[in-house]
Structure 1
């Protein structure tokens, strides 16, 4: 019989229900295929909690009493990136960390680990919407905004909500091997390893805003008409500057090069066109990439998936 592995999940009032339910289902499903996980639901004071949906979760114990854990998982909540974190919650996460072999956060649960100092000097991730906030608030953390999950020593963090399923499957694979993890993934109808990063789920990547009117006008022209000759020489001619001067302005004001800026605008345009149902060929042509192969290469570089796969995945939830 396989050794029991204890998974402690820290919940609290306002916790995201799927952050708790997703990993719980993965570990319980793994038990059907021969694993032996025991889930221990914790809260800072041992009281039951009310989730983001209003449903209540029954709690087994206070965090201080949840000893001998293999993994301590800290769930997230909508208020964590924008409101002060309850010191009792931070203390509970720190306590669980000391009592576990590994510590993991789900989605914005990374903010609790960060407040407890558990991510200092480590690589980490969180929901793409809040990755910038995490990086600014805790500069000692090396935030990886595109990662689905990140493992740095005994600490794991993952992206938004359903990424808790990805992280839990990774733990199952580590504990029991790929065959059992694959059976769990098949049973739950999810990827064992999700293709691409989480940037494919975010809206258009935000282009930096220029400070000077001259560069602002040029960037507006590129955004309005992404198809065109936007070599450095052509861009410089539009604003009556030398290529060297224009390149310096892009570096000083936008922290990028003219070529990379044009690529970003075209990539956002292509993504919008694919979302609207355009073919890959049409998206490449109307965004300024010219060929579907060029669009494919750039798309893979930024998002980890091909434009064709992205289009099939996101342009409509309806099945014909």
Structure 2
């Protein structure tokens, strides 16, 4: 059995139909980058904020910029090269922070910057496994959160103070919000637009983008991932990331009378460190 911490169903929060108190414009949004940052994770929300217009306004009410360890070019996913606008040493204080999935561990400078701005920003949000970066910075301690469906168990195992939500397209905890995998970031960004400027503005933004997805209206819309898949002899799954494995080649071990196969040695190691989070 899995801990209730991981199995808790996604809470459904009411979508705001009216804006909060009128924010001071422009709203500055910092997109945190590092080598291997997932392109969809940050360009999806970037595109949403870019296309927002409000009645009586001119252009987007959001001012967007990128920040990284340094302003030298870095390669993100798919081989795209990006030149960050600022380094963590000279970036302006943002109102909103967006953290995508990155390659490897976050740098000390990134974590220090996130801790500093997280205490003052109106919202710090992650997309996909960017949740692990927020967790490493201590921003998710004691909060509900989600991440890519293949990493839900790892997030719960590595950070037991976080209430990890299955089946959540996004989780809005007020000053902190987390999205599921990849395109979930678009929905979280539209949700943020709705909570800031109201449903009509969010609807208009989605229309301008010709975005047909409706996940931003229902935080529990990742229902396909609400239940953990079952591993069978015919279709064995890695207990950590839930990917299908080849039993003839997969690293394996026996634990409490159960045979487990893993997609990689990394997943096997993760299981050995905290098996109670991954047992079938």
Asked if the contact 1:19/1:107 (under 8 Å) is kept, the reply is yes
Indicate which of 1, 15, 22 corresponds to 2:44.
22
Distance 2:224 2:63 in 1: 34
Query: In the alignment, what sits opposite 1:198?
Result: 222
Query: In the alignment, what sits opposite 1:123?
Result: 144
Q: 1:101 to 1:205 in 2, by over 3 A?
A: same
Point out which structure has higher relative CO (alpha carbons under 8 A, 6+ apart): 2
SS across alignment from 2:29:
strand
Query: In the alignment, what sits opposite 2:267?
Result: none
Asked if the contact 1:8/1:39 (under 8 Å) is kept, the reply is yes
SS across alignment from 2:122:
strand
- 1:211 to partner: Cα distance: 5.9
Distance 1:98 1:42 in 2: 17
SS across alignment from 1:113:
helix
Distance 2:96 2:82 in 1: 20
Query: In the alignment, what sits opposite 2:117?
Result: 96
Which runs of 5 or more residues in structure 1 are unaligned? 217-260, 262-320
Query: In the alignment, what sits opposite 1:287?
Result: none
- 1:99 to partner: Cα distance: 4.5
Which structure: larger Rg?
1
Q: In the alignment, is residue 172 of structure 1 matched against residue 193 of structure 2?
A: yes
TM-score (norm 1): 0.59
TM-score (norm 2): 0.67
Q: In the alignment, is residue 4 of structure 1 matched against residue 4 of structure 2?
A: no
Q: Residues 250-284 of structure 1, C-alpha deviation per residue, up to 9 Å, x if partnerless?
A: xxxxxxxxxxx9xxxxxxxxxxxxxxxxxxxxxxx
Query: In the alignment, what sits opposite 1:74?
Result: 99
Asked if the contact 2:53/2:201 (under 8 Å) is kept, the reply is no
Q: Residues 173-228 of structure 1, C-alpha deviation per residue, up to 9 Å, x if partnerless?
A: 11211111101112222334456532416897125999669xx9xxxxxxxxxxxx
- 1:127 to partner: Cα distance: 0.5
Query: In the alignment, what sits opposite 2:108?
Result: 87
Distance 1:39 1:7 in 2: 5
Going by fraction, where is helix more abundant, 1 or 2? 1
SS across alignment from 1:190:
coil
Q: In the alignment, is residue 60 of structure 1 matched against residue 82 of structure 2?
A: no
Indicate which of 21, 37, 45 corresponds to 2:62.
37
- 1:97 to partner: Cα distance: 1.6
Asked if the contact 1:169/1:192 (under 8 Å) is kept, the reply is no
- 1:95 to partner: Cα distance: 3.3
Indicate which of 156, 178, 188 corresponds to 2:177.
156
Asked if the contact 2:167/2:226 (under 8 Å) is kept, the reply is no
Distance 1:174 1:47 in 2: 35
SS across alignment from 2:147:
coil
Asked if the contact 1:16/1:51 (under 8 Å) is kept, the reply is yes
